[in-house]
């Protein structure tokens, strides 16, 4: 017994130690070597087993940073145990000989600040073979570059710039797969991503004057919406590589080593200038670029109450989607409707290019000649660094065949009297000699038409009486007799069902017949038409409450189910009371 308790205590203690070991946060610095030549490179990894924020690297005093930081993250679950690793990697070259100390790096994990232990590196004289040419990290650092090419890092507000992300690589490296780990964000820019389509490798690329394979990975056009220093977050790619090793196969060929490489273009900063306030024209709406402007009429002559269109059109290259066109100004006697805005803009690396239009529909009410005053459009040209203004030409619209505004009274007053020509031939068209015949003096009440009109209503009343007496009443009597018969049968079967509480089959057969006959009496339909869906629809059409219609259908469904399944006397009584209640409810509503 004592051995068993000791064994259990030991196991529990070991499990506790294991748990505490797994839960412990670690953050440490590792170097590829602690002794190296002046012409060699040093790799430094800062590793942690929990995700952290606010990573602060050391100053690397005495070293020059060749590349980094490169970030790598790995997660795994093995037998239910979680494993996490995150690494920041730097590649350094020493600036001087002697012992150089790598200071502490710092990171915040779960609200706690962790620091690495300082590491002392000894730098010796330059060696004959600096670095290992077969080292995969050295090879990839020397032969892979990810670059963000920015057309203009100091633009004006709303001036378009382009960013092209290019991946450069060269032999002996080959890339089998690329995954985008982090996509850049453009929070302070209006952005448009240009579709590239299929990724192609340009074997004639050049980087820093040396030949490389070039892959254009992403193209984006940006228009800054704020002034000052704006950040463009980095693009980070994970590459699957094949790198030759120092091992060879039976045929003397180098064996390829498969590896992963995380590479980033780094964060870029765009310094955006504000537009100058000096000489800014009134009515400037933020247009930046090079533009042409005009006002176009679709017709310059029309009738009153017809309509014409005045189109304000801007054409050129610039932030076409990011400013408003000026308003047109016309005389008050012209009725102007809200403009219809249209855009025909293409976006490429040079920015937005195309046309935007505001089409005004204008309706004149009176005839006359109406001038359309010139419209001024102003924009800022970043190439000349000046504001420019363009005015449309003077236009005139001629409106004819319509009322004249405010002149109706004046015209009536200005009418003058004229002498009337009373020549002998003036009334020559009047016939003076006529042939007249006497009017019929017979009294109308003695005519056949009078007595026909008088007797017609009496005949129509007699025919209506015969129609009602021998046709409609017979039909109503037939319908009423059918209704009375159905009601009688419903009462009969409902009473029969009440007497058959002890026999489930007989009860539900009688109850179902009673419900059917009652429904026929109320809705005037035949038994062959009775389906549950149709019953519900007909009741709703008769303005019966939806819940009442559903209750009626539910009782019928209970009857159908109970005839093939055993039931109890309690459920029979409930169904009988529910049937009586729903019939009474339908009677009240109908």
What is the pLDDT confidence band of residue 419, given thresholds at 50, 70 and 90?
A: very low
Residue 395's CB is within 10 A of a number of other CB atoms, namely 17
Q: Rounded CA gap, 252 and 269, in Å?
A: 49
pLDDT at 22 over 70: no
Lowest mean pLDDT among 235-239, 291-295, 308-312, 424-428: 424-428
Residue 524's CB is within 10 A of a number of other CB atoms, namely 12
For the ranges 7-16, 396-405, 436-445, the maximum mean pLDDT occurs at 396-405
pLDDT at 361 over 80: yes
Q: What is the pLDDT of residue 21?
A: 44
pLDDT at 529 over 50: yes
Q: What is the pLDDT of residue 324?
A: 94
Lowest mean pLDDT among 31-35, 313-317, 559-563: 559-563
pLDDT digits (tens, 9 = 90+) for 176-197: 888 888 888 898 999 999 998 8
What is the pLDDT confidence band of residue 243, given thresholds at 50, 70 and 90?
A: confident
Q: Rounded CA gap, 4 and 24, in Å?
A: 30
Record the tokens describing residue 369, joined without a space.
């000649």
Lowest mean pLDDT among 291-295, 384-388, 501-505: 501-505
What is the pLDDT confidence band of residue 418, given thresholds at 50, 70 and 90?
A: very low
> What is the rounded average pLDDT for all residues in the chain?
81
Q: Residue 18: is the preceding peptide bond cis (ω within 30°)? A: no
Residue 381: its H or E element: strand 376-381
Compute the average pLDDT of residues 550-579.
74
- Backbone phi and psi for residue 266, each to the nearest 5 degrees, phi listed first: 80, 155
Q: What is the pLDDT of residue 410?
A: 42
470-476, long-range: CB < 8 A, 24+ apart:
none
Q: What is the pLDDT of residue 412?
A: 38
Task: Give the strands of the sheet with 106-109, arranged side by side.
Answer: 53-56, 106-109, 112-115
Q: Which residue has the higher pLDDT, 235 or 520?
A: 235
The separation between CA 16 and the C-alpha centre of its own chain, rounded to angstroms, equals: 52
Q: What is the pLDDT of residue 558?
A: 79
Lowest mean pLDDT among 54-58, 240-244, 500-504, 536-540: 500-504
pLDDT digits (tens, 9 = 90+) for 265-282: 888 999 999 999 999 999
- One-letter-per-residue 3-state SS of 193-212: EECCCCCCEEEEEEECCEEE
Q: What is the pLDDT of residue 382?
A: 96
Q: What is the pLDDT of residue 539?
A: 81
Residue 408: its H or E element: helix 408-413
pLDDT digits (tens, 9 = 90+) for 279-295: 999 989 999 999 999 99
């Amino acid at each position: 017994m004592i051995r068993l308790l000791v064994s259990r205590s030991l196991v529990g203690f070991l499990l506790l130690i294991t748990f505490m070991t797994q839960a412990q946060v670690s953050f440490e610095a590792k170097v590829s070597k602690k002794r190296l030549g002046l012409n060699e490179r040093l790799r430094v990894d800062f590793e942690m087993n929990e995700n952290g924020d606010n990573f602060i690297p050391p100053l690397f005093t005495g070293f020059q940073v060749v590349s980094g930081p490169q970030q790598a993250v790995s997660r795994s679950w093995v037998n239910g145990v979680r494993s996490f690793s995150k690494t920041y990697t730097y590649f350094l070259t020493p600036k001087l000989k002697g012992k150089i100390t790598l200071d502490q790096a710092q990171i915040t994990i779960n609200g706690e600040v962790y620091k690495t232990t300082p590491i002392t590196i000894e730098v010796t004289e330059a060696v004959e073979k600096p670095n290992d040419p077969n080292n995969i990290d050295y090879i990839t650092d020397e032969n892979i570059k990810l670059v963000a090419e920015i057309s203009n890092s100091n633009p004006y507000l709303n001036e378009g710039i382009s960013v092209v992300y290019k991946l450069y690589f060269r032999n002996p490296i080959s890339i089998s797969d690329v995954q985008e780990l982090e996509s850049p964000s453009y929070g302070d820019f209006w952005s448009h991503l240009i579709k590239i389509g299929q990724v192609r490798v340009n074997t004639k690329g050049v980087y820093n004057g040396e030949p490389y394979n070039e892959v254009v990975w992403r193209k984006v056009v940006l228009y800054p919406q704020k002034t000052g220093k704006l950040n463009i977050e980095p693009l980070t790619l994970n590459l699957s590589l094949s790198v030759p090793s120092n091992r060879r196969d039976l045929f003397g060929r180098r064996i390829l080593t498969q590896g992963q490489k995380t590479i980033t273009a780094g964060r870029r900063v765009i310094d955006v200038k504000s537009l100058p306030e000096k000489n800014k024209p009134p009515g400037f709406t933020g247009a930046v670029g090079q533009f042409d402007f005009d006002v176009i009429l679709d017709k310059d002559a029309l009738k009153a109450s017809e309509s014409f269109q005045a189109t304000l059109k801007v054409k050129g290259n610039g932030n076409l989607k990011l400013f408003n066109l000026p308003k047109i100004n016309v005389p008050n006697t012209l009725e102007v409707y809200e403009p219809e805005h249209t855009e025909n803009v293409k976006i490429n690396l040079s920015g937005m290019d195309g046309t935007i239009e505001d089409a005004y529909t204008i309706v004149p009410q009176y005839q006359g000649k109406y001038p359309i005053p010139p419209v001024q459009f102003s924009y800022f040209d970043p190439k000349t660094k000046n504001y420019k203004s363009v005015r449309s030409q003077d236009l005139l619209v001629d409106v004819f065949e319509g009322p004249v505004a405010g002149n109706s009274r004046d015209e009536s007053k200005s009418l003058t009297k004229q002498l009337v020509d009373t020549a002998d031939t003036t009334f020559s068209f009047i016939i003076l000699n006529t042939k007249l015949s006497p009017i019929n003096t017979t009294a109308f009440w003695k005519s056949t038409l009078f007595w026909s009109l008088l007797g017609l209503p009496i005949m129509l009343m007699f025919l209506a009486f015969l129609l009602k007496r021998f046709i409609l009443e017979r039909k109503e009597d037939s319908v009423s007799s059918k209704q009375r018969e159905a009601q009688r049968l419903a009462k009969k079967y409902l009473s029969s069902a009440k007497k058959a509480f002890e026999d489930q089959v007989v009860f539900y057969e009688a109850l179902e017949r009673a419900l059917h006959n009652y429904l026929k009496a109320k809705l005037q339909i035949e038994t062959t038409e009775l389906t549950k869906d149709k019953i519900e629809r007909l009741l709703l059409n008769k303005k019966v409450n939806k819940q009442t219609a559903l209750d009626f259908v539910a009782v019928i469904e209970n009857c159908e189910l109970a005839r093939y399944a055993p039931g109890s006397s309690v459920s029979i009584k409930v169904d009988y009371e529910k049937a009586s209640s729903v019939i009474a409810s339908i009677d009240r509503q109908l």
